[in-house]
Amino acid sequence: MMFFNLHTHHFTDSGVVELVNQYPDEFDENIPLYSIGIHPWRIEAADVVTQLHFIETKLTDSHCLAIGECGLDKRIETPLEKQIPVFEAQLLLAEKYKKPVIIHCVAAFQEVIELKNKLGISIPMIIHGFSKNIQVARSLLDNGFYISFGKYLLRNPELAAVFAAVPNDRFFLETDTIEEGIEQVYAVAAKAKGIETETLQEILNKSFIEVFQQTRNS
């Protein structure tokens, strides 16, 4: 049974199924499975029109499983008014090509929810690196989002209770930029759920197929 890493910046070629984050201006064609998007931190330096075009050319590639990470971040200097159109454009591409979206969201959960509803986005939207409380988690779940856990599940023991409350068909696990391997994240997650690692692998294998397998066959 496989380990699936929803979101990482480091391809390890270790036998783990890794969805590697790629940027349009730093694209590596040798990555087996990837997501691609314009991160809000990179908007100021980006030629947005060119990068959106490049992203669209990759969305028919069977190795591209998702758009992202992209999203909204209220704690950076780039104003939200400048971030929103770039995020919207990527959501519309995701909807057009039926690709899931991996979302970076900092202090803007309500805005992300409102955009999903306003644009009528039907494809899976996954909040990565979740670290908030059960109320925020429930709001996201009630609005159809998936939630991915990683670094903060390892670093903050109190997050285990939030993770345990998320339905088994609505979460993913990731490493993002941490040094620990995805196997360590699985071990902590399995303990929080009160199940064996092998059972957790079965759960996430099913979610991977349901959310991403269609993009590999398109």
User: Any known ligand binding at 9?
Assistant: no
Query: Is 69 marked as binding a ligand?
Result: yes
Other Cβ atoms less than 10 A from the Cβ of 14: the count is 11
Distance CA 38, CA 49 (A): 11
CA gyration radius for the chain?
16
Q: Which residues contact 118 (CB under 8 A, 6 or more apart)?
A: none
- Rounded Cα distance, 115 and 135, in Å: 19
The token duo for 30 is 């040798």
Q: Is 44 annotated as a binding residue?
A: no
Residue 104, marked binder: yes
- Residue 32, classified by CB atoms within 10 Å of its CB into exposed (0-12), middle (13-18) or buried (19+), is exposed
Q: Which residues pair with 71 in a beta bridge?
A: 104
Q: What is the DSSP letter of 184?
A: H
Q: Which residues fall in the annotated binding site? A: 69, 104, 128, 176
Q: Which residues fall in the annotated binding site for a divalent metal cation? A: 69, 104, 128, 176
